[in-house]
Amino acid sequence: MRYMLLVCGQEDADDAGTAHEYGEPCWAPWAREIQARGILLVEGSQLQPIRTATTVRNAGNEVLVTDGPFAETKEQILGYDVIECADLDEAVYAASRHPAALAGGVVEVRPVLASV
């Protein structure tokens, strides 16, 4: 089953953790660890800074476009990963070992609906 991991945290805290001490991305050891457990990292990406966000709403027949995120919160969505694994327990394990979670952030785990 596929799960999306929504990686949330403080944007400033994430800037410091993007490179590993050996010059590889900070997520590379995590990807190797989960792959060794049989969890497939299907795709993932870090998002541009929150200042680049655009929010779109519909109000009747009017489209409202505003700069910035949907809500003012302490934590923002910093990126995402899509994993494929046997069950929710494995997805939770992968999320708990994610570098963002280990750095004090939050990783929301959501099952992906099967495509038609």
Name every residue whose Cβ is closer than 8 Å to that of residue 48 and which is 6 or more positions away in sequence.
Answer: none
For each of the chain's 116 residues, which pLDDT tens digit applies? 999 999 998 876 444 445 555 678 888 999 999 999 999 999 999 999 888 989 898 999 999 998 876 666 677 889 999 999 999 999 999 999 999 999 999 999 999 998 76
pLDDT at 72: 65
Task: Report residue 75 as tokens.
Answer: 């934590």
pLDDT at 14: 42
Dist. CA 108–CA 67, nearest whole Å? 24
* pTM for the model: 0.81
Residue from 98, 106, 102, 103 nearest 77 by CA: 106
Name every residue whose Cβ is closer than 8 Å to that of residue 69 and which is 6 or more positions away in sequence.
Answer: 50, 53, 55, 76, 77
CATH of 2-111 among 3.90.870.10, 2.40.50.100, 3.40.50.880, 3.30.70.1060:
3.30.70.1060
Dist. CA 95–CA 98, nearest whole Å? 5
pLDDT at 21: 57
Query: Domain map of the chain by residue range?
Result: 2-111
pLDDT at 17: 46
CB-based contact 20:102 (threshold 8 Å): no
